[in-house]
Structures are given as C-alpha cells and as structure tokens.
Chains A and B, each alone.
Chain A
C-alpha cells in the first residue's frame, strides 16, 4: 500500500514514467476499439513492428547524411517522423489492398511483419553509432522518459483521446456500414484516412515510449475484455479505456514491487483481466440458466 501511495506522490522518482504509461493505458484502448471492430487485430501485431522499422530507417538515413530536419538534431523528433510515416503508409496500403480483395490478407500481414522485423535489425546493424540509443527507442524504455517526452506524450495522447471521443459517431458509422454512410453523403475515404492517421500516431508514439509489445497489448486486450461485458459504443469505449488504465496502474505497481520488466508485466496483467472477465461472464451465464 505504501508503494502505491508513493507512486502517486509528487516526489516519486519515476513520476514521468508512471503518468506516461497511465495515459497510454487509458488512450490506446480507445484507438484499439477500432482495430478490434474492423477486424484489424492481426494488423495490430504488424503495425508496431513497422513503426519500429520506421524509427530505425530514420536513423539509418541520418547515418547516410540525409537529415530529415537539417537544422535540428533532435533524435526523438526524427524517430517519430519515421515511425509515423511508416505506420500510416503501411496501414493505408494494407487496408486498401484488403478492401479490393486482392491476395491473401494473412499472408500479406505476416510478410510485412517479418520484413519490418528484419529491416529494423538490419537498419540498426548498419548504424555505426548510437546503437544503444536506437535500441532503447525500438524497445521503448518507459522508465527513461524525459520531461519533454512526458509532456509530448500527454499532448499527443490527449489530442488523440479528444479526436476519438468527439468523432466517435462518424468513425463508428463508416466502420460499421460504409455503404450507408456513402448514401448519407459521408466522405468515407477522408474519415478512413483520419482514423488511420490517429491509429498510426498512437502506435508510432507509443512504440517509442513503451515499445511494440506493450502497445499491441494496450491496443487489443482491453477492447477484447470490454466487448464481453458492454452494450453500446460509449460503454464499450469507456470500459476498454478504464481496463487499459487499470492495467497500466497494476502493471506499474507489480513491476516496481517485484522488479519485473514493465512491458511484459502490463501485458500479463491485461491478459489476466481478460481471463477474469471471460470467466465471470461464463459463470454468470451458468447461474442465470440454473
């Protein structure tokens, strides 16, 4: 209990990391709701990996002497640009190919995942300096979040949450029934691109802060748990977000308490919550029938 109180105290040494992971925990499931509903969960595995490849590629270009921002040597900003670009372009390309019904979706996503994983490692290997910095960016070291990175996380994820919540009806409508949305005059291509941009930004920024594994966990597991116990889009989104926040809080506590790596601990906590929710639903169903 003392440790839990200490985590919320202003003097807590890791407060940047704690609040950053809480914010990501609350916001990522709001975005992940659409990956689950649009049946893009498999893409959710590949996208963080693609995003990581984007970070490695941005550094690789830097090594070759090509500066994304000639008057700025800020590594985080350069990495973010590569990460967002890769994630959004890959998402748009994969979804477009899927909509046109060409080829095998699983094959394409699997291939992209493998290629992105290999590219990340090769770009890192080709980088003669800053390998440790780059590896920490690719893994996402939330405990090493700086003050500027913390405020950037709050700003980006705050903006994402506002967009997702205010535009929920449009995103839900074009996802659920694209054809009817067109007949009612909605520009479905623009809405799709806006949603993909938000998903890409959430993944790209999250990969740099907490790493690909945790981002995938936050995107997918809380919405899967929330879907089992809610009816209606608002309850679904809000409960998914609360489960994500609770996961981040419990995971951070357990990680500190037993000196465990944060990312895998958070994912394990999310999976336990999902298992508990699923079990409770089954037991309640039995009791109702009895």
Chain B
C-alpha cells in the first residue's frame, strides 16, 4: 500500500521534454517533442528502425545535446542514470572481463588518479549478484552470449546506483527465454526498488503487463499514453498503419 507521499512522488515528473528537437550533428530526427516521464514509472519506447528512439534516449541521458527546446529535470537536479547501450556497439577487441565492465559503473564517483576502493568492488559484486551474473565475473566480456552480456551491462548500470535505468534495445537478437529473463529482471528492479525504467524495445508482447506507459514514435511525431491503451489490439494496428513499428 503506497503512502500519499509515495503516490505524489510517483506522479512527479522525472524527465520533461518541452518543444524539443533532437538529432545528430545539427540535423533533426524528431522536432517539437513534448513528453513527460513520471518518477517510478516503467516506460516502453516503440517505433520502427531509424525513427529516433535511440536518439531520444541519448538526448535524455545527455549523450546528445538538444537541438531546440529543452529537457527539464526535477528541482533536486538531473537524476542519476544507469545507461545500458546496445550491446553490439561495444567492441569485442577489448580483453575486458565481465567484472571489469561492470566495475565501470562505479567510475562516475571516482576522480582522476583515484584508485578503485574496496566498497566499489563490493557494490559491483552485489550488482552482478542482483542480475544473477556473479558466475560470469572472471570470463571475458567478448566471449559471453548476448543475454549474458546484457545482464553484465545491466549490472554495470546498477553499480552506478541509478534512479532511472535507461535501456536501449536490451532484448534485440536474444531468444524468447532470455528475453523473458531480462524483462523480468527489469520488472523486479522497477517494483522492488521503485526504479524508473525507460526501455527501447521492439517486442510489443514483452512490454505487455510490465510497462505502465508507452511512447510510440511514428511519422516523425511522438504519441504516448497508458500501456493498456497503447498496447491494445486496435491501437497497435493503428500505429503499425502509421508506420510505427
């Protein structure tokens, strides 16, 4: 049972885009976006390839600048993001162990020339345990399967002690059973820790019953609403006709 304070906090806006244009190298991909993401919500981001889903995520977490308009955060400042990139963007040439990759999540609090402290290693071990990847710690990251790599990347994001977990296509190219494991993991983090989840996902079915809100990008515009409405058969068909998936 949520207390009134918790309910108010849950409705609070964590991220707000106001008339924002987003894109790469000054070229807009999406223009005039107005969007709000509530604290503690699980938001699924849908849309066809190349429509700007990843660009939207990267703009929210600060990797890309907003071209026009603005991104607003609560008065207490920008939330701590735990970013999980598309795993294929990470080069397999690096001889890094899974533990070394997960440990990178703690580097945000580390100044130059500082050494990694025992507490940071402990937090990393805990994060790997939380995603049931403690047995992968000493293996080479490049040699892990897609699902294992994804769990290690989620552990790295958790090691950053995030308020908002941002996942870019975490289940792309992963079999159904592993997709369910990763989606359940995200759901557990959302329910047990009240973590805000923002996830790009092509699997509409895997978002059903998990996401509270859906943002659908189609025809250069953004449509959002409650998941039960946005993922209804009629709405899905309507969005697919509009080129939204």
Using a CB–CB cutoff of 8 Å, the interface residues on chain A facing chain B are 36-37, 39, 100, 166-167, 169-170, 172-173, 175-177, 179-186, 227, 230-233, 235-236
| Beyond A166-B113, A169-B116, A176-B104, 17 additional pairs, beta carbon < 8 A | A100-B25, A167-B112, A169-B104, A172-B94, A176-B90, A177-B90, A177-B104, A179-B58, A179-B85, A184-B107, A184-B108, A186-B107, A186-B108, A227-B95, A231-B138, A235-B95, A236-B95
- B225 at interface (Cβ–Cβ under 8 A)? no
Instruction: Please determine whether B107 and A170 come into contact, CB atoms closer than 8 angstroms.
Output: yes
CB pair B116–A37 under 8 Å, yes or no, is: no
| Interface contact B94-A176, CB-CB below 8 Å | yes
Which residues B188-220 have CB closer than 8 A to chain A?
none
**B100–A233 touching, CB < 8 Å:** yes
Whole-angstrom distance from the CB of A265 to the nearest CB of chain B? 29
Contacting pair B140 A39 (CB below 8 A): no
B177 on interface, CB distance cutoff 8 Å: no
User: Could you say which residues of chain A place their CB within 8 Å of the CB of B116?
Assistant: 169
Interchain nearest-CB distance for A226 vs B (Å): 8
Contact present for B95 and A39 (CB under 8 Å): no
Q: Which residues of B contact A100 (CB under 8 A)?
A: 25
- Nearest residue (CB) in A for B114 is A169
Determine the main DSSP class of A at the interface with B.
Answer: helix
B63, B94, B101, B112: the one within 8 Å of A182 (CB): B63
Contact A231 B140 (CB under 8 A): yes
Q: In the complex, what residues of A have CB within 8 A of residue B90's CB?
A: 176-177
Q: Which of B80-127 contact A (CB under 8 A)?
A: 81, 83, 85, 89-91, 93-97, 100-101, 104-105, 107-108, 110, 112-113, 116
**A179 in contact with B112 (CB, 8 Å):** no
A-B residue pairs in contact (CB < 8 Å), sample of 16: A37-B91, A37-B93, A169-B110, A172-B96, A173-B107, A175-B94, A179-B89, A181-B107, A182-B62, A183-B81, A186-B108, A231-B97, A231-B138, A231-B140, A233-B94, A233-B100
| Residues B58-77 near A (CB distance < 8 A) | 58, 61-63
Does B156 sit at the interface, judged by CB under 8 A?
Answer: yes
The verdict on A180 contacting B112 (CB below 8 Å), with A186-B107, A232-B96, A232-B100 known, is no
User: Which chain B residue lies CB-closest to A227?
Assistant: B95
Determine the residue in chain A with the shortest Cβ distance to B109: A184
Least CB distance from A92 to B in Å reads 18
The answer to whether the Cβ of B30 comes within 8 Å of any Cβ in the partner chain is: no
Report if A169-B95 is in contact (Cβ < 8 Å); known contacts: A180-B85, A180-B156.
no
- CB pair B85 A170 closer than 8 Å: no
Q: Quick check: B104 and A179 within 8 Å, CB to CB?
A: no
CA distance A280 to B140 in the complex (A): 20
Min CB gap A211→B, angstroms: 28
Known: A179-B63, A182-B63, A233-B96. Is A39-B91 also a contact (CB below 8 A)? yes
B77 CB to nearest A CB, Å: 12
B25, A233: Cβ atoms closer than 8 Å: no
Q: Shortest 4 CB-CB distances between A and B: which pairs?
A: A184-B108, A183-B83, A183-B61, A179-B63
Contact A231 B25 (CB under 8 A): no
Measured CB to CB, the closest approach of chain B to A38, in angstroms, equals 9
The residue that A180 contacts in the complex, of B91, B104, B110, B113, with Cβ under 8 A, is B104
The B115-169 residues at the A interface (CB cut-off 8 A) are: 116, 138, 140, 156, 160, 166
Tell me the complex Cα distance, A233–B25, Å: 33
Distance of A176 from chain B, by nearest CB (Å):
5
Give Cα distance in the complex from A183 to B116, angstroms: 19
How far is the CB of B104 from the nearest CB of chain A, in Å? 5
A129 to B223 CA separation, bound complex (whole angstroms): 73
Known contacts A169-B116, A179-B83, A185-B108: A39-B62 contact under CB 8 Å: no
- Most-contacted residue by chain B among A169, A170, A175, A232 (CB, 10 A): A169
A172-B62 Cα distance, complex, nearest whole Å: 21
- Chain B, range 34-69, C-beta contacts under 8 Å to A: 58, 61-63
| Interfacial chain B residues near A173, Cβ < 8 Å | 104, 107
Identify the closest chain A residue to B160 (Cβ): A184
B85 in contact with A177 (CB, 8 Å): yes
Residues of A within 8 A of B140 (CB): 231
CA distance A13 to B97 in the complex (A): 46
